[in-house]
Structure formats: C-alpha cells, structure tokens
A and B are shown apart, each in its own frame.
Chain A
Amino acid sequence: MVIFYYQSLLRGFQQRNCGAGIDKGALMEMPIPDPEIFSRKPELIAKLQQVMPKDAIISETSETRAYECDALTAYKCVPLAVVLPRSTQEVSDALRICHQMGVPVVPRGAGTSLAGGALPTADSVILGVARLNDVLETDYDNRFIRVQSGRTNLSVTGAVEENGFFYAPDPSSQLACAIAGNIAMNSGGAHCLKYGVTTNNLMGVTMVLMDGTITEIGGPYLDAEGLDLLGLICGSEGQLGVVTEATLRILRSPEGARPVLIGFDSNEVAGACVSDIIKAGVLPVAIEFMDRPCIRATEAFAHAGYPDCEALLIIEVEGSAAEIDEQLEIILEIARRHDPVELRESASPEESAKIWLGRKSAFGAMGQINDYMCLDGTIPVSQLPFVLKRIGEMSRQYGLDVGNVFHAGDGNMHPLILYDANKPGDLELCEAFGADILRLCVEVGGCLTGEHGVGVEKRDLMMDQYAADDLDIQMAVKDVFDREWLLNPAKVFPLVSSESRRI
C-alpha cells in the first residue's frame, strides 16, 4: 500500500486514466465517477451561468485540462468543469448549486500542493479562488491584514513591507502559493521555529460551507469565540469549507539578521550541538542542517565554499547588530565545545549570501546528480542523531545514497533519496527505502507529514499513524461541515475508511 506514495513522486510517471472509474492498473485509486453527474453537466453549467458571468465558468475539456493536476503532476484527471468566482457570494452560489445537484467540488488555491490536495475527479467541479486576490484592509496599529484568499503568500508581505512589516509563514513555494492553500494545508516555512506556522498567524476567516452558507470565524482580535473552529479549519485540506477571506497577523520586520556556518565531522555531534543551543536559551530564527552527500553535491553545483565535512549547520539570528553579536557569541561558544571542523561568521551581506547560497541550491544540486525522491516526515529533535544514523545504515543496506537537508530546529526532515529511473529495480529499492524512513519517523515519535499535507499522496498511510477510532472522529468532524461528503471527498482519509460516508 505504501508504494502508492512513492510511485506518485516519480518523474515522468505515466498519466493514469481517471474518467472510466478505477483503472485497475493505476496505483492511485480514486472513487468511481458518477455517470449520472456527467449526464447532468449541461444543467449544471446552465445553473452556474445564472449566478456568475460566463467567463467565470470553464466547461470545455480543452480548457479544463489546465486544472487536471496540482504540483503532484504524476496524477492527472480532467474535471467536469471549473469555476473561478470573483466574490464570496459567487463562491456561495456555486457551492449551493453543486450541493443541490450532488456534484463533488475540489477547492483550489494556486495548485502548488505536493500532496495532490487539488487533484480533481472526473465528476467534480474545480472551485479556484485565483481571482479573489485583493487586499481588503491593512491595519498597522492593530497589526493585521485582511485579504481575499487567492492572494499569493509573498504578495501579502509585499503589501506591507514598505511599512516595515511582514507575514511570517514562508513556504518555499511562497511566490506562487495562495493563502487559501496555506490555510488548507497549514503551511510552514523556514521561519517556523520562531514565528510558527499558518495556524499560529491566522486570526479569522470568511468561509463558505458546502451548502452555500457563508460563515465568519474570528477577526482582528485574539482567540476567536467558542470552540476553536479556526484551528480546526486550518489544515483540513479544503474538506470542511472554502475560505474566501482571511485576517492574518502581521509583524514588524527585525532590524537585521546574520547567519553563521558550522561544520562537524559527525551527524551525531551536529545534532547534539543543535540541542545544546536550544537548551542554552537561544532561539535562532533558522537552524538548517545538511549532511555530507548534500554538502558535496551543492559544493560541486554552487561553489559556495562549504567545507568537506560530515554535517553542516547554518544558524541565523535576528535583531540589531549588537543583539546579533550577543546571540552569536553564545552559539559559537557552544559550537566550539563540540569540536567543529569549521566555524564561519559572516562579516558582510555578501558573506551572508554566500553562506545561504549552497543551502538554497541544495535541491537543484541533488537533481544534477540523479533522480531523487523527497520525503516530508517530522521527528522529535532529540532523535535526530539516531534517525540520521539509521538512515545511513539503511542507505548502505539498500545501496542508494541519501542526502539530508532540513530545518533542524523543528525536526521536519526532507531526506532526498537518489536513484536512477532508467536502472531496472532501482525504483523499487527506492520505494522500499522511503517506506522504511517514514516508518522510522513514526516509530521514534514523529509523524508522516510535517508540512506537505496528506492529500491523496499519503492518504493510505494514515493507518500507520492513527487507530481506527482516531480516524473515525476526524471523519465525524467532516460529517458536521459537509454531511454528503461533496467537498474534496477523496482526500486525507484512506478510501476504505471513508467509503461508507462518501456513498
């Protein structure tokens, strides 16, 4: 079963037929499309045209094909239709019509999900929020911004940076990804250790339920009233409602930031150093970790001048120049106790950029060597040395190289397994290896996904982490928001678990 996940990440994976029901050969099983819905497509389109302009509705297959997948491109399926509303009212109207007609709806932000969160089924309507991208209100005194949810993550910061503010969550897709998708997946980023993920920076939403009901939750004040529905919605992968507007916390930018680079001759020592820094009371804004395969690859690729060592930490702190000095002094003193093979302080913006250059090129560099598969598990930070050691042992056992590059401060690992797609048997080895790594993450007290989400990709692994009752109560939550299971129904939960609810 776990093979599904790994297969899905392979480059050039053959597109699977989704229109004729379950393709027995396909690895990603999806529910059988309802033929009744196909036959009522003209009626659906006619009804939608009554509530929104014609250019907001796409129904020709040649055009709907643009929405056949998200960033998990291995899986594709052309949806029945696509609607691109321009207002909360249009979202409500579209949902109400689909609800009345029993048509499944798949919400879509910018389509950057790596987990297939916006993958359509053939009988579904894609509801894209891309045209909802206005800033509605900016309030520096009360430190919030209210935006429409189709606005991109980076352009939220873009709207306030002139005044010295920023929006903290910064997923690596931030140039393209939409706030709607950030909320659906509870996106993180490099600065999570200090500033938290989306759920910690979300103050309120306007959300439309599947039956068209428009709800307001929270707002420009702290701790929304009643049960924490805001916390529940954030990370619910578009299964509970469609968020059309969001009130987000904005923060004043720090005066400055500076990184330091520290090299070690063992992963264990680097891990211990991270732990000691955290214990000492310093909370850097970023602690990045790279191991030897990654260091060598990036050095060959980007020539950042990294030392050839077993493990490398890049630690960045923020504040005024004097505050930065004070924090770095403590960090370096701790690092020296761990016998570093390299200790490099940045003395200029150019040197800072060079320290970051290799780290930022890491994924590209690994891709130069071979095909690779990127995982996304989280482990308790204290297990870092053990997990890296085990991954190293498994790497030798499987005969495949692994590069590790990740945010060490919060334990979110992205092991990159290198393999050769053209070499027979390599793929299967890689899949088995990846499965072992994710099992290891759960075994040591971690989880299957730290920031990419479950989507369709890890749906069938949920039972490795949760017992039947744990999943049942989550599905019972969806029952409350979407009794008929029309909203993004084939995601998050193993199909076998959700089957009785979806029918």
Chain B
Amino acid sequence: MRAFIPKSESELAGIIADAEAPLRIQGGGTRPFGRPVNGTRLSTSGLSGISLYEPGALTMVAGAGTPLAEIETALDAEGQRLAFEPMDHRGLLGSSGTPTIGGVIAANISGPRRIQVGAARDHLLGVRFVDGMGRAIKNGGRVMKNVTGYDLVKLMAGSFGTLGVLTEVSLKVLPKSRATGVLLLEGLEDMRAIEALSMALSSPYEVTGAAHVQKGLDGDPVTMIRIEGFEDSVAYRAGQLQKLLAGFGDFTVETDPVKTTAGWQWVRDVAPFHGRVGDVWRLSVKPGDAPGIMAGLPGTEALYDWGGGLIWVLSSENSPLSAGDITRAMAGNAGHATLIRGEASNGAFPRLSPAIAMLHAGLRQQFDPRQILNPGLMEPAA
C-alpha cells in the first residue's frame, strides 16, 4: 500500500492539506494499540535528527521521527537521560520496528520513574505540529518555565496523532544517576506489598521505582524498590529503607548496575507477560485500591508499578478480559483502563463522561475538522 513519508514539515503540511481520505499516522509503528485506523500510512520517519542538544541547559530538540535509540545514545554520551524512562512495547505487543521520540510523546509513554519525575508530558517543553488543515503550528519552546499562552504542549502529548502530526519536540533531559540500589523481597501478598511500597514512597528517601510482580522469574511474587543518586547517598537511603520496612521482612539490596538496570527494564517493559497468550489491560488507579480491584479479576495475573498506581493485567489464556469485566472490577474506584493487547476493533481507550467526551469531540473538530488524522483511534472500549 502507498505511504506518505514527508522529508520536511512543509512537505507534511502539503500532504495533509491535500489529503482527501483518512491518514494513519505512524512513528516507528511499535505501539499498535487503540482502535485500528483505516487510512493511508503517513510516516514521520523522514523528520529525523537531533537539531539542538545543550547538556548544560538540560535541553534537547529533535525531529519527531528521530529513533529513540539515537536520542538515548546522544544523551548517554553526556551522562544524561530521558528521566521518564519510556517503555519499549515491542516485547509485549510482538511488534517490530524502531521506536521514535514522536511516538513516545504522542502516546505519552513513561516508565517506572514516572512516579518520581513525572510522565513524558512533564518533560516536553515545546512542540511543532501540523494540524488537520495542514497548518504548521508551534507551541511552548525550549525553556523550563513558560506560561506564554495556552499549554498545547501537554494537549499534544498523549493525543495519539488525533489532533495533529508532531514534527519536532523539545525535551527537558536530566543527569543520569551515578548509583542505583534496589531493595528486593520475595513472597509478599498483594495487599502487604502495596502497603510496603506506599510506606517507601511516603518516606523522605526519594524512591524512583516501586513495583510488585505477582510472578517473578522463579514464580514467586517479588517486591522491588529503587533508589538512585550518589553512591554514599544510595547506601544511606537503602539502609534507612531496610529499617523502615523491617516489619514486612528482610529486604535485600542489589547495587550491581547491570542487574539493577536489567531488573527495571524487565518491569518497565512488562517482560513477565512477554510471549504469553492473553489480553493485556493497563489500569491507572489510586495505589491503595489496586489489590481490591485485582481481587475482582480472578484468574488474571498482575504486575503493579508506580507503587500500585499502575496495574498491568494479563487475562488467563482461554478467557479474554472484556471492557465489562474491567468496569465491574473497577466499580466504585477512581481511575481508568486501556486495552493494550487484544481485540480492539470496538475501541480500547477509557470511556469518558458525556461532558468530557463533548470537549474531546469539540477539540478534534477544531484541530482536524475533516477527521482525517487517526480517526477513531481513541474510541472507548466497548
């Protein structure tokens, strides 16, 4: 099938202005969730490259189609990183391709560190995009503090290409930590594990990762707490946390950089669910509600991140998890759920209240009046 691969923002603007049928916007194509879009593929891969990187200003500007790996390599050379730790969906979704920074931003993809440093959208300083009428628009800039006009930067993050096609993003980057410590404990029940994570996150010890995996590598539940910083500080805080959490059991501390990195990539990418059959849902909830919600989903398996605030749910092999099942389990609890892997032809995103749905429709009408940009992708799961 024919595809559009513009090499410049103005070429992209021309393509959208001239488009007479829906376009399927694609970064690296590694995150195929949401309702499938029928349309001509429009790839941002031609809008690639880092145009500005100032380590001393903690700022990077790059084309939307820039491979994430290229960005991470450049940052690594200066001892910096994307602090929001974007997840790689390829293992979970069985997709191939090259993740791009535009895709990360369009889907507002964050990882375990989100709980301390914020989401992708919190590290986005500015955007350039082309709207559904083919107009090139800029918003925000490349400075940390900016309240000049409406914050469309946040709006574009997580809009999945339904309001415009990103062409360039400005990012706040942060220094890498010199040392990492991970506290580990096996065997906790969900409820106890979430209590332990809450206690750690409510301490002054700056926890940057708090996860509980129901079935760890050896099949037993494992609770993981991460701290990062300078060597002495990490050692001090690890010790303090061990004391604080002694009532839950004896947490061990892992500081081997290879192992700690691999361990948190395993959580970030939801590796325990890779290669297994079943639907996968992603729930964002109040951490303390998480075990109760899971109790309402018998036969499923969970990986809790963000201290319990993020639940990855895998259905059993032979019984798919419907939107109705999830809604029943979440009834009376704040939060929302998205179908990440499974039959999505009837939609995959959370259902919105009528008033909010009307605002969504109104914004789409303004940004893309012909409804040609990823139409229907964010439809609620039926």
A interface residue numbers (CB < 8 A to B): 139-143, 164, 185-186, 188, 192-193, 196-197, 199-200, 209, 213-217, 219-232, 234-236, 252-255, 274-276, 278-283, 319-320, 322-323, 326-327, 330, 378-382, 409-412, 445-454, 458, 462, 465-467, 469-471, 473-474, 476-481, 492
B243 within 8 A of A: no
B interface residue numbers (CB < 8 A to A): 54-59, 78-79, 108, 110, 114-115, 118-119, 121-122, 131, 135-139, 141-155, 157-159, 163, 174-178, 195, 198, 201-204, 229-230, 232-233, 236-237, 284-288, 306, 309-310, 334-336, 349-350, 352-353, 355-356, 359-360, 362-363, 365-367, 378
Q: Name the residue in B137, B145, B355 with the highest tally of chain A Cβ atoms < 10 Å from its Cβ.
A: B145
Cα–Cα, bound, A478→B152 (Å): 12
Total A-B pairs, Cβ < 8 A: 261
A228-B56 contact, Cβ under 8 Å, with A220-B286, A323-B232, A473-B367:
no
Look across to chain B and name the residue whose beta carbon is closest to the beta carbon of A164. Answer: B204
Cα–Cα, bound, A451→B306 (Å): 30
Query: Which secondary structure characterizes the binding site on chain B?
Result: mixed
**Which 6 pairs show the lowest CB-CB distances between chains A and B?**
A231-B154, A275-B56, A281-B175, A480-B362, A450-B145, A410-B144
Instruction: List A contacts of B118 (CB < 8 A).
Output: 196, 200
Cα–Cα, bound, A45→B224 (Å): 60
Look across to chain B and name the residue whose beta carbon is closest to the beta carbon of A330. Answer: B230
Instruction: List A contacts of B286 (CB < 8 A).
Output: 139, 142, 219-221
The residue that B56 contacts in the complex, of A164, A278, A477, with Cβ under 8 A, is A278
Q: Are A278 and B175 in contact (CB under 8 A)?
A: yes
Some 29 contacts from A to B, beta carbons below 8 A apart, are: A192-B144, A214-B355, A215-B355, A217-B356, A222-B284, A223-B108, A229-B356, A231-B151, A232-B155, A235-B147, A235-B151, A255-B204, A275-B56, A276-B56, A320-B236, A323-B237, A327-B230, A330-B230, A378-B145, A381-B54, A382-B54, A411-B144, A469-B135, A470-B137, A470-B138, A470-B139, A473-B135, A479-B366, A492-B150
Look across to chain A and name the residue whose beta carbon is closest to the beta carbon of B336. Answer: A225
CB distance from A66 to the nearest CB of B (A): 27
Q: Are A283 and B356 in contact (CB under 8 A)?
A: no
Instruction: List A contacts of B367 (CB < 8 A).
Output: 473, 476
Q: Are A213 and B355 in contact (CB under 8 A)?
A: yes
Instruction: List B contacts of A330 (CB < 8 A).
Output: 230
Instruction: List B contacts of A275 (CB < 8 A).
Output: 56-57
Q: Are B121 and A282 in contact (CB under 8 A)?
A: no
The residue that A480 contacts in the complex, of B119, B236, B359, with Cβ under 8 A, is B359
The residue that A196 contacts in the complex, of B122, B135, B352, with Cβ under 8 A, is B122
Q: Are A252 and B204 in contact (CB under 8 A)?
A: yes
Instruction: List A contacts of B378 (CB < 8 A).
Output: 226-227
Instruction: List B contacts of A213 (CB < 8 A).
Output: 355
Q: Are A452 and B147 in contact (CB under 8 A)?
A: yes
Q: Are A228 and B158 in contact (CB under 8 A)?
A: yes
Q: Are B57 and A381 in contact (CB under 8 A)?
A: yes
A142-B288 contact, Cβ under 8 Å, with A236-B150, A323-B233, A378-B143:
yes
Q: Are B148 and A465 in contact (CB under 8 A)?
A: yes
Look across to chain B and name the residue whose beta carbon is closest to the beta carbon of A409. Answer: B144
A231-B157 contact, Cβ under 8 Å, with A209-B355, A279-B56:
yes
Cα–Cα, bound, A164→B144 (Å): 28
Instruction: List A contacts of B230 (CB < 8 A).
Output: 323, 326-327, 330
Q: Are B204 and A466 in contact (CB under 8 A)?
A: no
Look across to chain B and name the residue whose beta carbon is closest to the beta carbon of A207. Answer: B355
Q: A228-B155, A481-B359 are in contact. List 14 more A-B contacts (CB 8 A).
A: A219-B286, A219-B334, A220-B286, A221-B285, A223-B108, A227-B360, A228-B154, A281-B177, A282-B175, A320-B236, A447-B141, A454-B147, A474-B139, A477-B155
CB distance from B164 to the nearest CB of A (A): 9
The residue that A225 contacts in the complex, of B56, B352, B365, with Cβ under 8 A, is B352
Q: Are A228 and B108 in contact (CB under 8 A)?
A: yes
Instruction: List A contacts of B56 (CB < 8 A).
Output: 274-276, 278-279, 381-382
Q: Are A225 and B349 in contact (CB under 8 A)?
A: yes
